[in-house]
Amino acid sequence: MVPNDAGVTYRKLARYLGRDRHAWDPRFRAYPSDAEACPGPPGTRAAGGQRSLLPPLCAPVRAVTPGHQAGGAPPHLALVGATASGKSALALAVARRDPTVELVSVDAMGVYRGMDIGTAKPSPAERAEVAHHLLDLADPGEDFSVARFQAEARPVLAAIEARGHRGLLVGGTGLYVRALVDDLTLPGRFPDARAVAEAEPDTAVLHRRLVDLDPVSAARVEPTNRRRLVRALEVTLGSGRPFSSFGPGLDAYPSSPIAQVGLRLPLELLDARIDARIDAMVGAGLLDEVRRLLDRAPGLSATARQALGYRELADHLEGRCSLEEALADTRRRTRRFARRQLRWFRRDPRISWLDVGDNPLALLPRILGDCSLR
């Protein structure tokens, strides 16, 4: 269990997060470069006479055994929260300051090659500068599962530990986070049972079937989330046991070697960031990106097509709605999705929450000023 004592938690955070005074750009997810924000080393004067607040983030990490950092500290940290809350930019700033930190994406749509703008992937320059993992694992025509993600992630985390480094897990896909934080036991695939579920065209009927067969799972799934309903029915029908019976269940929150930190902010500010982010993505060429993906055989898989913005713009390109309607639907669905993310993460009592204002990094000097790191 992650300690609730603020001093202990903040000292752990400080080793990862340091201090910074970047000005956050809500139009996308970027900060000014480190050279612009803090050109001098810690304690030196930056341009204009301002003193840099960035101390060294971590002492050199000694050799480790898999799953355990030297000194008993958690080997990895998960940074979670809603979309557009500033997670990626904050994580990038951390990794730029500490070469022992490697970034691990925990994003169900970031696994797809070619889906770059709408998933806010790091730029090629950022990926060359800082180690990023678990991006671009599959073609967008493939379905992708949490079990496959977990299988890809295990050797990545083990390799990070073997290098004496720490992984900073960054993302908002709650089930993927839990799969790594709790090393969940995941059920297998049952193609015949899946085909039976997929043959039903009415998503409401699927939800009613799941209510009858596994009410616990049904209560956890949005009635309109066809993909998750099909998966729950696939496992329930194929295995002969309720989907909710695998492992201790998502309602259990056991001790984990991976600490978790969540970013939260007022909903009105989050909504404004979402709107600005969508505008920036459209300006960066999201519509053309979706068009290229649709034109490339076999197009988007059922899983990839659920990505925020991609489904709506695909509908527009296929003649089912206007561009204005597609963008309005993207904004509405992204806002609903962000609220579901927050509800998911709030259920986990192990997450230490940090309140974010206009600039996510502005909270760091306050945190470091509230506790002794010596």
In a domain, 209, yes or no: yes
**171 and 37 part of one domain:** yes
* 251: pLDDT strictly greater than 90: no
Q: Which of 29-43, 114-128, 148-162, 330-344 has the lowest mean pLDDT?
A: 29-43
CATH number for the domain that contains residue 206: 1.10.20.140
Higher pLDDT, 329 or 100: 329
Tokens of residue 84, six digits: 């557009």
In a domain, 1, yes or no: no
**215 and 173 part of one domain:** no
**88 and 179 part of one domain:** yes
**Residue 67 Cα distances to 161, 167, 331, angstroms:** 7, 11, 40
In a domain, 167, yes or no: yes
**147 and 230 part of one domain:** no
- CB neighbours of 363 closer than 8 A, spacing ≥ 6? 354, 355, 356, 357
In a domain, 161, yes or no: yes
Q: How many Å apart are CA 303 and CA 143, to the nearest integer? A: 5
Mean pLDDT of the chain: 80
**153 and 206 part of one domain:** no
**Residue 342 Cα distances to 80, 223, 346, angstroms:** 9, 18, 6
In a domain, 26, yes or no: yes
**110 and 163 part of one domain:** yes
Give 369: exposed, middle or buried? Use CB within 10 Å, 0-12, 13-18, 19+.
Answer: exposed
Q: Mind giving me the DSSP string for 17-61?
A: H----PPP-TTSS----HHHH--SPTTSB-GGGPBP------PPP
Half-sphere exposure of 46 (CA within 13 A, CB side): 16
Q: How many domains does the chain have?
A: 3
Q: How many Å apart are CA 334 and CA 344, to the nearest integer? A: 15
160-175: pLDDT as tens digits: 999 999 999 999 999 9
**232 and 261 part of one domain:** no
**87 and 102 part of one domain:** yes
**36 and 156 part of one domain:** yes
Q: For strand 166-170 and strand 132-133, is the pairing parallel, antiparallel, or unpaired? A: unpaired
Q: How many Å apart are CA 30 and CA 361, to the nearest integer? A: 12
pLDDT on residue 36: 31
Q: What single DSSP character describes residue 133?
A: E
**15 and 141 part of one domain:** yes
Domain that holds residue 326: 273-336
In a domain, 66, yes or no: yes
**155 and 201 part of one domain:** no
pLDDT on residue 287: 98
Taking the CA atoms of residue 150, residue 176, residue 162 and residue 132 in that order, the dihedral angle to the nearest 10 degrees is 110
CATH number for the domain that contains residue 85: 3.40.50.300
**17 and 145 part of one domain:** yes
Contact yes or no for 172/83 (Cβ under 8 A): yes
- CB neighbours of 113 closer than 8 A, spacing ≥ 6? 136, 137, 138, 139, 140
346-372: pLDDT as tens digits: 999 999 898 887 676 554 443 323 322
Contact yes or no for 56/237 (Cβ under 8 A): no
Q: Phi, psi (5° rounding) for residue 45?
A: -90, 130
In a domain, 344, yes or no: no
CATH number for the domain that contains residue 287: 1.10.287.890
Q: Which of 5-14, 83-92, 270-279 has the lowest mean pLDDT?
A: 5-14
In a domain, 317, yes or no: yes
